[in-house]
Amino acid sequence: MTQKLPFEALSVETLPSRLGDNEALRAKIGKDTSAWKVREVGDGNLNLVFIVEGASGAAVVKQALPYVRLVGDSWPLPLKRSFFEYHALTRQEERAPGSVPTIYHFDEAQALIIMEYLSPHIILRRALIEGRQLPNIARDIGLFMARTLFRGSDLHMAARDRKADLALFADNVELCDITENLVFSDPYFDARMNRHTSPQLDGIVAELRADRDLKVEAQRLKHSFAANAETLLHGDLHSGSIMVTERETRMIDPEFAFYGPMAFDVGMLLANFWMSFFSQRGHEQSGKRDAMRAYLLEVTVETWVVFRAEFSHLWRTERTGMLYQKSLFEDQGDRLGAEQALDHVLHQIWTDLLGFAGIEVHRRILGLAHNADFETIADEDLRASCEAKALKFGRHLAVNRRQIHSIDEVSTLAALIEQESSI
């Protein structure tokens, strides 16, 4: 099935003729290509995304470009990220069934994935900006993270399989490089591609860049990100990588997938809820957002509670890998030994996720890739005020992460910072 032609970017016009003989796509949406309707809807930073509708259905065609779409061809980026996305999606579907779009076809040479068109799903970030309270996201995302992170690690997998997979994903160098630089380093010095709401944030930006403790923590977290190949991460699990309906939640876009620390996915995800929390004041022209803020804190609490519960459940029932073997604990009648080890592992994830969350907040306000939660606040003074609070919150998390014991404390901290005009 794989086309051997050299890579060529699709367009709305060429897609029907280029993919008209693709059996998977024809079977899904109908064989009459003259009836196909194609729209390009990519709103991310990197790729082309088409929705193709035919007589009997619809599908998404996602194609990588040989450069960063947000920046242009001055920043080349390998097509192989499509290969990593495809392999990540198949592993996620296996480990957390029903959590990602169904794949119909993958073409490595053309760097394209044909997959399920999720409808009427919208991007979670958009829903949160609109002030929609979705009842299932905490549970769905908490389960997704626990299942993919646990089942992709030496807690569950055969060591040989994990090492082979680690070698496969080690080649995802350029996308790791984006995270390594844009997330962990650039925000903390005058890097070329940085931007922030200016001049309103100039003072706090200078303060953060002079903050030795913060910078050391950010680099220690980068050290862990780069070295601690614990499990296959989604790698970019923010609210723009999640599609929702009132009842359903699907994780998309795992092209940043690689082997890293479990806490990274969890921390990035929670950071995006906390940023949504601090951005709500900027969206109050359409009505007060007190209930939405309360909802968002509840979501962070429930996500972590569900994650912990499911991770613990898997620890007790699927701990079949080489780490913390039952032969050392349960098989010796020492169930409590296994629980003690679980506490240690969860404690490490907790401590690290707070750090990753703090850094993620910073880079979304100080670095290259901002997010719509803040960007859509047109009033720059209002936006800067929301952003400044988030920056202070992020700094507190990153530097004090070993002294924060519970998610409730983080909720209290967020509420305190939100209420105080100067803190």
- Considering the complex, state which of residue 102 and residue 219 has its C-beta at the smaller distance from its own copies: 219
Six token digits for residue 377: 């606040």
What distance in Å separates the CA atoms of residue 89 and residue 111, rounded to the nearest whole number? Answer: 14
- Considering the complex, state which of residue 119 and residue 340 has its C-beta at the smaller distance from its own copies: 340
Q: Which of 331, 403, 421, 422 binds its own copies (CB under 8 A)?
A: 331
Q: Interface with its own copies includes 80 (CB under 8 A)?
A: no
Q: 383: part of which helix (H) or strand (E)? A: helix 380-400
HSE value, Cβ hemisphere, 13 Å, CA-based, for 71: 14
Q: Interface with its own copies includes 70 (CB under 8 A)?
A: no
Q: Interface with its own copies includes 308 (CB under 8 A)?
A: no
Q: Interface with its own copies includes 329 (CB under 8 A)?
A: yes
What distance in Å separates the CA atoms of residue 257 and residue 261, rounded to the nearest whole number? Answer: 12
Q: Interface with its own copies includes 166 (CB under 8 A)?
A: yes
Q: Interface with its own copies includes 291 (CB under 8 A)?
A: no
Q: Interface with its own copies includes 322 (CB under 8 A)?
A: yes
Using the contact rule CB under 8 A, the part of the chain among 24-32, 182-190, 269-277, 306-314 near its own copies is 182-190
Q: Interface with its own copies includes 41 (CB under 8 A)?
A: no
* Residue in this structure with the two tokens 């929390």, named with its chain if needed: 277
Q: Which of 212, 285, 286, 317 binds its own copies (CB under 8 A)?
A: 212
Q: Interface with its own copies includes 180 (CB under 8 A)?
A: yes
What distance in Å separates the CA atoms of residue 281 and residue 279, rounded to the nearest whole number? Answer: 6
Phi, psi of 51 (to 5 degrees): -105, 125
Residue 163 CB, shortest distance to its own copies, in Å, is 5
Residue 363 CB, shortest distance to its own copies, in Å, is 14
Measure the N-to-C terminal CA separation of the chain; round to a whole number of Å.
Answer: 60
CA distances from 326 to 151, 184, 346 (A): 16, 37, 18
Q: Which of 55, 70, 210, 291 binds its own copies (CB under 8 A)?
A: 210
What distance in Å separates the CA atoms of residue 347 and residue 351, rounded to the nearest whole number? Answer: 6
What distance in Å separates the CA atoms of residue 115 and residue 57, rounded to the nearest whole number? Answer: 12
Q: Which residues in this chain contact its own copies in the complex, by CB under 8 A?
A: 153-154, 159-160, 163-164, 166-168, 170-171, 173, 176-177, 180-181, 185, 188-189, 191, 209-210, 212-213, 215-216, 218-220, 222-223, 226-230, 322-325, 327-329, 331-332, 334, 336-337, 340-341, 344-345
